[in-house]
Amino acid sequence: MLGTSTYFAVDLGATSGRTILASFDGTRVEMKEMTRFANPMIPLGGHLYWDIAGLYNEVIKGLRKVASEGISIDSIGIDTWGCDFAFFGADGQLLGMPHCYRDQHTDGAQEKFFAKMPAAEVYKRTGIQFMNFNSLFQLDTLKRNGCSALEAADKILFIPDALIYMLTGKAICEYTVASTSQMLNPMTGDLDEDILKALGLPRDKFGEMTRPGTVAGTLTAQVQEATGLGAVPVVAVAGHDTGSAVAAVPATDKEYAYLSCGTWSLMGIESPSPIITEDSFRENFTNEGGIEGTTRFLKNICGLWLFEQSRKEFKDVPSSVGELVALCEKSTFEGLINPDAPCFTAPASMTAAIREYCLSTGQAAPETPADYCRCIFRSLANRYREIVDILQSLCDFQIKKLHVIGGGSQNKYLMQYAANALNMPVICGPVEGTALGNVLMQMKASGAVDTLEQMRAISAASVELTTYTPENK
């Protein structure tokens, strides 16, 4: 690949993963997908798990392919979804498979923990949105249930940190992914001592707090032998995929909200400091760690998970996503759902759950795949409007546009519905925002860029943007 610098990005989502090779020529970043693979949830023994050893093997495959093509890379960066974690013994061995955040063993977990520390106190200390699957409630559940892996664990590492550990032998706790746990205190910049005490877990079981854009370590001798590469540095990028994605938002001013649109929709603003107030507590907004000392003030919204699960059940429909979403044009269905309703978390049948929701709320039920697509996309757009309205009430600037990053930005029907619902421009791109942000943070670590403004200028120069404007309704 041409370019003065070359980087390897591992981007792991909650349904699939990819490895990407990127080159920077001093002006723009060019990216090439090296490998793509599934990341399925593994049902076993009544629980849902992740195959982290399989994910590690996919990373090795990607690195081996780079080496086989004679490509020299400057560094490696890994981003993943948030909240989940892996256990390692004192000898460095992986202790079982990590639980998946969709595992229902955390149902009712919040209330059990609040008996030890009130919800208002937890929010005051962390500023994080309450969700059953937050690491705090996962760990408390495993602790109460006598999880043997947790009892034996010498290290508890979030998923990107776990993979870094498997590649380098260095145990870190990257700031942005740690912030998703509801255990990090943004005022101290470290895991909260009183929350850890309530969990009954010592701080030293977690890695050293590490800011994004820091070299975590280099590939071990074993990994070098397995891949054919040398002692390549592994950078702690913004390990939470949303943190990396927001780093790549090609914004030229502050008057915007962002939407990271994929399996999840994460919608928010970038703030110079946490927004932890009675109003943000009431609205259940989250303050996640960002890059360069910023805070991602946002709301998690159930995103294209609804569509991804529904399309598995559709019969006699186009195989391509583009043709499938275009079926919206063949429907006039007006029913709406709340994408964040608990019934959509992990239903046995997503279409049945949508149908039942519509009927239970006095609406007609969707009948065709076109109806389901239109219902899902319009419902998501409606939810975006609700969240932007709340954001506007909580921030001190006028939100004038929405920047959308991630694969969902290619869905022209969803994007147009969003522009109509919000009554503001919707600017789409980059599609591979997370991977690009991952690369930009590697560039920061290498000294190729210095500031967030430089990173965003490079992002804007590297992609073609598409803007949707509101249509008359």
Q: Identify the band that residue 4 occupies on the pLDDT scale cut at 50, 70 and 90.
A: confident
Per-residue pLDDT of 247-274, as tens digits, reads 999 998 999 999 999 888 999 999 999 9
Catalytic residues: 241
Asked if pLDDT for residue 3 goes beyond 70, the answer is no
Per-residue pLDDT of 355-404, as tens digits, reads 999 999 999 999 999 999 999 999 999 999 999 999 999 999 999 999 99
Stretch 88-107: mean pLDDT: 96
Asked whether residue 53 falls in the same domain as residue 199, the answer is: yes
- Look at residue 468 and tell me if it is in a domain: no
Per-residue pLDDT of 133-147, as tens digits, reads 999 999 999 999 999
- Quick one: pLDDT at residue 277? 95
Asked whether residue 201 falls in the same domain as residue 305, the answer is: no
Residues 8, 435: Cα–Cα separation, whole Å: 9
Asked whether residue 122 falls in the same domain as residue 25, the answer is: yes
Asked whether residue 226 falls in the same domain as residue 85, the answer is: yes
- Look at residue 461 and tell me if it is in a domain: no
Report CA-CA distances (Å) from 437 to 47, 76, 256. Answer: 33, 13, 18
- At 54, which CATH number? 3.30.420.40
- Quick one: pLDDT at residue 319? 87
- Look at residue 177 and tell me if it is in a domain: yes
Asked whether residue 283 falls in the same domain as residue 212, the answer is: no
Percent of the chain beyond pLDDT 70?
Answer: 99
Asked whether residue 19 falls in the same domain as residue 80, the answer is: yes
Asked if pLDDT for residue 44 goes beyond 60, the answer is yes
Asked if pLDDT for residue 169 goes beyond 50, the answer is yes
Stretch 265-294: mean pLDDT: 93
Asked if pLDDT for residue 204 goes beyond 80, the answer is yes
The CA-based angle 103-312-369, given to 5 degrees, is: 125
Asked whether residue 238 falls in the same domain as residue 260, the answer is: no
Give exposure, 314-336, as e/b (b: 16+ Cβ within 10 Å).
beeeeeeeeebbebbeebebebb
- Look at residue 450 and tell me if it is in a domain: no
Asked whether residue 271 falls in the same domain as residue 393, the answer is: yes
- Quick one: pLDDT at residue 262? 87
- Look at residue 469 and tell me if it is in a domain: no
Between strands 184-185 and 208-210, the pairing is unpaired
- Look at residue 433 and tell me if it is in a domain: no
- Look at residue 268 and tell me if it is in a domain: yes
Range of the domain at 390: 251-428
Q: What is the pTM of this model?
A: 0.88
Between strands 75-79 and 233-236, the pairing is parallel
Asked whether residue 136 falls in the same domain as residue 194, the answer is: yes
Q: Which amino acid, 286?
A: T
Domain count, the chain: 2
Q: Which of these three, 242, 266, 301, is where a domain ends?
A: 242
- Quick one: pLDDT at residue 2? 42
- Look at residue 467 and tell me if it is in a domain: no
